[in-house]
Amino acid sequence: MKEKIESLRAEIRDLIAQTQTGKGLYEVKVKFQTALKGIMSGMKDLPKEEKPTFGKIVNEFKQAMEAQFEERAVVVKKMELEAQYEKERIDITMPGKAYKAGALHPITLVKNELIDIFAGMGFKVFEGPEIETDYYNFTALNTPKDHPARDMQDTFYLADNLLLRTQTSAGQIRVMEQDAPPIKILSPGRVFRSDDDATHSPMFHQMEGLVVDKGITLCDLQGMLAEFARKMFTSSTKVRLRPSYFPFTEPSVEVDLSCSECGGKGCRLCKGTGWIEVLGAGMVNRRVLENCNVDPDVYTGFAFGMGIERIAMLKYGINNIKTLFENDTRFLEQFED
Ligand code: DAH
């Protein structure tokens, strides 16, 4: 028996010393416990008087071995952790992967700013469809089929009567058909024209404004535009109205703002004039009101329409409209809020 114990002690000691993992150590322990069980079951064949001495020996052996298992368990655990740390080692000097956050497009920034400015003056937003009928885009806006003013806007026709809207002015008609005055709306959106050069794009954005109520005059238009100009550009920006022509307004005006670059002294941006043309506007033509069943003897109104790209180009000093649509992030990230 004693020899058996000694050889088992030596065997298990070697095995313990060799194990490198918790799992391996557990397997050795199972082997040890099985062998120990065998030894203990052999005790029943011993003479009665030898049993206590032998029991003591077995107990000591068991305790000694368990102490060895525990000792090794600490070592193995440490080895395993070190291996794991080594595997998961992070090179903290390595440059990080850069994730770039998205940002709003300059057109969206300007559109939102315009909405903010006019919402502050009580305007509500109305969005019309991009595919329009000839009626809403032209005829109801006092521009019938044979009208020469149609030539001002080269149009994408989809069918005889359907087109990609050339102006957000179409929204004026939809709003006046839908609501009775007082009306005060802002209509932003994409418009399309068969037009393409450094300052024109076949798709661009406009912001339309329409106010209809009793007693509205050109003076109201001028006052609102002055407020818009001061908020959008600088507090010293001035507004100038020049006579112009649009079929849907009478009188019609072209609206200039004092040049934000030179303050009105004259520079390259304003071509030496001190003024920059920014939008079209006017008093809503009686015919347009009549087309929408609004009595022109009771109500008057003003309307204006501006190109959002144009405002963005002026505000940010962009000289080619195409850069707004190329989606080059090196360009776009300059306008983050
Ligand atoms: N729709 C015109 C254009 O696209 C701009 C415009 C001019 C809109 C005068 C208006 C207006 O509402 O009153 O050129």
Question: What are the tens digits of pLDDT across the range 153-162?
Answer: 778 999 889 9
* Residue with more model confidence, 179 or 264: 179
Closest C-alpha residue for ligand 1 atom 9: 281
In the chain, what percentage of residues exceed pLDDT 70?
100
Same domain as 281, residue 145: yes
Instruction: Assess if residue 92 is contained within a domain.
Output: no
Domain's final residue, options 52, 87, 122? 87
In the chain, what percentage of residues exceed pLDDT 90?
69
Same domain as 324, residue 274: yes
What CATH number has the domain bearing residue 179? 3.30.930.10
Closest atom of ligand 1 to 280 CA is 7
Closest C-alpha residue for ligand 1 atom 2: 305
H or E segment and range at residue 142: none
**Which of 85-89, 188-192, 295-299 bottoms out in mean pLDDT, i.e. has the lowest?**
85-89
**To test the ligand 1 pocket, which listed residue (141, 168, 169) has its Cβ within 8 A of the most ligand atoms?**
169
Residue 136 and residue 162: Cα distance in Å, rounded? 10
pLDDT of residue 311: 93
Domain's final residue, options 36, 54, 87? 87
Same domain as 25, residue 119: no
CB of 295 closer than 8 Å to CB of 278: no
Same domain as 228, residue 154: yes
Same domain as 152, residue 52: no
In the predicted structure, residue 152 carries a pLDDT above the cut 80: no
Same domain as 197, residue 257: yes
pLDDT, one tens digit per residue, over 274-309 is 999 999 999 999 999 999 999 999 999 999 999 999
Instruction: Assess if residue 95 is contained within a domain.
Output: no
Closest C-alpha residue for ligand 1 atom 7: 280
In the predicted structure, residue 212 carries a pLDDT above the cut 90: yes
In the predicted structure, residue 163 carries a pLDDT above the cut 90: yes
> What is the rounded average pLDDT of the residues 54-80?
92
Instruction: Assess if residue 99 is contained within a domain.
Output: no
Same domain as 145, residue 33: no
Distance 83 CA to ligand 1 centre (A): 73
Which is nearest to 168 in space by CA: 140, 119, 111, 129?
129
pLDDT of residue 337: 63
Closest C-alpha residue for ligand 1 atom 3: 167
Same domain as 159, residue 60: no
Please state, rounded to an integer, the average pLDDT across all residues of the chain: 92
pLDDT, one tens digit per residue, over 239-251 is 999 999 999 999 9
- The structural domain count of the chain equals 2
Same domain as 254, residue 170: yes
Residue 242 and residue 276: Cα distance in Å, rounded? 12
pLDDT of residue 3: 84
Distance 168 CA to ligand 1 centre (A): 8
Residues with CB under 6 A from ligand 1: 167, 169, 208, 246, 249, 280-282, 303-305
Distance 64 CA to ligand 1 centre (A): 98
Distance 129 CA to ligand 1 centre (A): 17
Same domain as 83, residue 46: yes
Instruction: Assess if residue 58 is contained within a domain.
Output: yes
**To test the ligand 1 pocket, which listed residue (304, 306, 308, 311) has its Cβ within 8 A of the most ligand atoms?**
304
Q: Residue 35's domain spans which residues?
A: 2-87
Same domain as 40, residue 116: no
Domain's final residue, options 59, 87, 115? 87
Closest atom of ligand 1 to 282 CA is 13
Same domain as 122, residue 65: no
Which is nearest to 185 in space by CA: 98, 126, 268, 116?
126
